[in-house]
């Protein structure tokens, strides 16, 4: 057989191969298949066929061998140099070859030509990269919804780049960051794997700290009863960094789902609240009774009655005057989160005595004295009538409505004048 001493071109190719053989996320069989495919494509372009070539790939050693198989024919009868070899030429390789035998000769990479070798290296690099991207995509696609801890590498205006333990790039967009998040290079941070995009060939792994799944996974990790299947999380509504409401249910009558999730003096939520930059967390018991669920979701307000419109998925909630501000919450957060939790648009109304109700006046009647956008702001926080506004505390209106103090005082003066 011919000497197995390879040319500089072969050594270069082996070095390229060695760069890729350590890729842990590409299985052996796939790597061998890709390498063989690349070599066969080049051989087929050069000789029209690759059928009479054997390609031996050894990923463990990081090398390969290519053998050219030809049949020995009498001298002067070679019709196809790719498939046949003359007897005299064969006997120069080994002197005991005879006509009809098959000669298997080691191919020197220099025979491919520099252009073919360059193309081979580029194709190999490209295919290996595609395999890496596919493996990375599949690896993280299967982990969507999982919480991961990664190291902050660089922060830009629109996103933060993190690195996992294997050096893969993970992206945390600005809109997926909690208000108040501040990252330093080299520190570790936690986020949920939100989605994996595969655009342009290279996968983009998108993380989130604002998704409900992030809060859910942390709660699952903190509450053994959830891990054991005794408590389930039905729904989470979040306004990241501000407040969240969680609906939970227990499958064991002996277990209080709210108490189990909160822990003694809030011990099970303390670490989660810290991770979420002080986000307040309300836990309520889930029920399939929508009216009761709305009542619980508006906690700490005491609800008198709930009128549902199931077709339009809206709910009118009536409360005593002193409960309206509690139901609405600071900046309207409480009623907004309650709406998100139950899936109904909730309108809050101040319940009046019948005599008061007869004397009351809709806010829409004051459009000649109060600008419509101001009336809209008052409606957003649950007021529909003049007496509803007058019966509320001035500070509550200022705090919850997007209005200046002077504007609120002017509105109160106009509404009071109506009844004087």
Ranges of each domain in the chain? 8-138, 143-210, 354-419
If one counts every other C-beta atom within 10 angstroms of the C-beta of residue 191, the result is 24
Single out the residue of 154, 139, 148, 251 nearest to residue 198, CA to CA.
Answer: 139
The architecture in CATH of the region 354-419 reads: Orthogonal Bundle (1.10)
Work out the average pLDDT over 323-328: 88
Average pLDDT, the chain: 86
Q: Is the pLDDT of residue 5 over 50?
A: no
If one counts every other C-beta atom within 10 angstroms of the C-beta of residue 104, the result is 14
Alpha helices (H) in 151-237, listed in sequence order: 212-222, 224-227
Confirm if 214 and 191 have CB atoms less than 8 A apart. Answer: yes
Where does the pLDDT of residue 380 fall: very low under 50, low under 70, confident under 90, or very high at 90 and above?
A: confident
pLDDT recorded at residue 2: 38
pLDDT recorded at residue 395: 82
Cα separation of 186 and 194, whole Å? 22
Record the pTM. Answer: 0.67
Where does the pLDDT of residue 22 fall: very low under 50, low under 70, confident under 90, or very high at 90 and above?
A: low
Q: Biggest alpha carbon distance in the chain?
A: 125
Q: Is the pLDDT of residue 124 over 50?
A: yes
- DSSP letters of 53-100? EEEEEETTTTEEEEEEEEEEE-TT--S-TTTEEEHHHHHHH-TT--TT
Fold of 143-210: OB fold (Dihydrolipoamide Acetyltransferase, E2P) (2.40.50)
Collapsed DSSP state (helix, strand, coil) of residue 198: strand
Burial 355-382 (b: 16+ CB within 10 A, else e): eeeeebeebeebeeebeeebbebbeebb
Mind listing the pLDDT tens digit for each residue in 37-63? Answer: 888 888 888 878 888 999 887 766 667
Work out the average pLDDT over 137-146: 93
Positive or negative, the CA dihedral 250, 253, 258, 263 is negative
CA distances from 54 to 104, 166, 235, 245 (A): 9, 35, 60, 65
CA distances from 30 to 23, 120, 128, 209 (A): 11, 17, 10, 36
Pairing of strands 53-58, 280-285: unpaired
If one counts every other C-beta atom within 10 angstroms of the C-beta of residue 254, the result is 6
Alpha helices (H) in 94-244, listed in sequence order: 114-141, 212-222, 224-227
Tokens of 363: 């806010």
Q: Of the given ranges (49-53, 348-352, 401-405), which has the lowest mean pLDDT?
A: 348-352
Where does the pLDDT of residue 1 fall: very low under 50, low under 70, confident under 90, or very high at 90 and above?
A: very low
Work out the average pLDDT over 86-104: 90
* 170 alpha carbon, distance to own chain's centre: 10
pLDDT recorded at residue 31: 73
Confirm if 36 and 55 have CB atoms less than 8 A apart. Answer: yes
Fold of 8-138: N Utilization Substance Protein A; Chain:P; domain 4 (3.30.1480)
Calculate helix-pair angle for 267-275, 212-222, nearest 10 degrees: 150
If one counts every other C-beta atom within 10 angstroms of the C-beta of residue 226, the result is 19
Work out the average pLDDT over 288-311: 92
Q: Is the pLDDT of residue 261 over 70?
A: yes
Q: Is the pLDDT of residue 14 over 60?
A: no
């Amino acid at each position: 057989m011919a000497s197995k001493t390879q040319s500089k071109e072969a050594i270069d190719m082996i070095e390229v191969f060695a760069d890729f053989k350590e890729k842990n996320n590409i299985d052996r069989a796939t790597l061998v298949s890709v390498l063989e495919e690349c070599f066969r494509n080049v051989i087929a372009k050069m000789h029209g066929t690759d059928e009479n070539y054997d390609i031996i790939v050894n990923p463990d050693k990081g090398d390969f061998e290519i053998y050219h198989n030809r049949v020995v024919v009498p001298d002067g009868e070679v019709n196809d140099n790719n498939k046949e070899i003359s007897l005299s030429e064969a006997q120069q390789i080994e002197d005991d070859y005879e006509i009809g035998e098959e000669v298997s000769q080691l191919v020197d990479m220099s025979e491919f030509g520099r252009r073919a070798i360059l193309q081979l290296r580029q194709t190999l690099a490209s295919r290996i990269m595609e395999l890496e991207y596919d493996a990375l995509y599949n690896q993280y696609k299967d982990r969507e919804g999982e919480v991961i801890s990664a190291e902050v590498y660089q922060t830009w205006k629109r996103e933060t780049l993190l690195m996992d333990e294997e050096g893969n790039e993970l992206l945390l967009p600005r809109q997926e960051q909690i208000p108040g998040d501040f990252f330093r290079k080299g520190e570790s941070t936690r986020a949920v794997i939100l989605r994996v995009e595969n655009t342009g060939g290279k996968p983009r792994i998108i993380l989130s700290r604002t998704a409900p799944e992030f809060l859910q996974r942390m709660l699952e990790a903190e509450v053994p009863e959830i891990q054991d299947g005794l408590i389930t999380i039905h729904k989470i509504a979040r306004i990241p960094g501000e407040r969240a409401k969680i609906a939970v249910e227990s499958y064991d009558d002996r277990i209080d789902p709210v108490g189990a999730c909160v822990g003694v003096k809030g011990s099970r939520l303390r670490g989660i609240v810290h991770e979420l930059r002080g986000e307040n967390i309300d836990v309520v018991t889930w029920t399939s009774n929508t009216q009761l669920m709305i009542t619980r979701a508006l906690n700490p307000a005491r609800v008198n009655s709930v009128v549902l419109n199931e077709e339009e998925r809206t709910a009118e909630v009536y409360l005593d005057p002193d409960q309206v501000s509690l139901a609405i919450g600071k900046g309207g957060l409480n009623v907004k989160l309650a709406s998100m939790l139950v899936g109904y648009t909730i309108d809050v109304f101040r319940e009046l005595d019948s005599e008061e109700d007869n004397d009351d006046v809709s806010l829409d009647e004051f459009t000649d004295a109060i600008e419509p956008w101001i009336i809209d702001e008052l409606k957003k926080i649950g007021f529909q009538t003049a007496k509803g506004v007058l019966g509320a505390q001035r500070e509550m209106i200022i705090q919850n409505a997007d209005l200046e103090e002077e504007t609120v005082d002017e509105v109160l003066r106009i509404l009071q004048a109506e009844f004087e």
